[in-house]
Amino acid sequence: MDFISIVIFLLGAAVLAALIRCSMKFRTILDAFGRIEVRKSIYEEKLDKKGNVDTTAAVKVIYDRRRLEENRDAFNRLYPYYAVASQLIGLFPLLGILGTVLGLISSDLADIDSLVAGLTEALRTTLWGLVCAIVLKAVDAVVPGKLVNDIEAKFETVDGAIERLNLENIMKEAR
């Protein structure tokens, strides 16, 4: 096995391990949203302007801001590692092309056996570079990529709810 193919395999294994590790940590971050959201039952009785008793019963969602920020910090610390692993996937086709060029350059055009060996090395490295890129891109899209999207959507939902609560409190204080 030639040098470039070994580099492709080793780098592919390292990127796959990084994607799996990030996926496990992203799953923990996503699961932590269940501890951030606290539901509280509210029952209030008050008099309206006509003197009638107005009752309201609701379930109010309260967010534990400390846990939310801890979760956001954990996500922000992990995301750069995921981004690097995800970006490394683009190197595999380039390594395959590099192996192709090296395989063709190393072959002696006058010797048919050397030419066949060089072409074999060239095609093998191109194949492994493409296979690794396709497999790793599929893994990235299905597992950590989806988790990152879900986490970002949860943060947007929680931030929007907190913003609405802040506006409601400001409106109540203004009255």
Residue-wise burial string across 59-90, b where 16 or more C-beta atoms lie within 10 A, e elsewhere: eeeebeeeebeebbebbeebbeebeebbebbe
| pLDDT digit string, tens, across residues 77-131 | 999 999 999 999 999 999 999 998 988 888 777 788 888 888 888 899 999 999 9
Stretch 144-149: mean pLDDT: 93
Cβ-count burial of 115 within 10 angstroms (0-12 exposed, 13-18 middle, 19+ buried)?
middle
What whole-number percentage of the chain has pLDDT above 70?
87
Residue 57's pLDDT is 58
Alpha-carbon 30 to chain mean position: 11
First to last CA, the chain: 77
Q: What is the pLDDT of residue 167?
A: 76
pLDDT at 85: 96
Domains of the chain: total? 1
Task: Please tell me the predicted confidence (pLDDT) of residue 43.
Answer: 61
- What's the pLDDT score for residue 136? 97
CA distances from 103 to 115, 117, 127 (A): 9, 8, 13
Helix (H, G, I), strand (E, B) or coil at 43: strand
**Residue labelled with tokens 């947007």:** 156
> Range of 18's domain?
3-174
- Do residues 22 and 78 lie in contact, with contact meaning Cβ atoms separated by under 8 Å? yes
How much is the pLDDT for 55? Answer: 67
For 7-60, the pLDDT digits (tens) are: 999 999 999 999 999 999 999 999 988 777 655 656 666 767 777 777 665 556
Q: What is the residue-averaged pLDDT of the chain?
A: 86
Which tens digits make up the pLDDT trace of 62-80?
Answer: 677 888 889 999 999 999 9
pTM of the model: 0.76
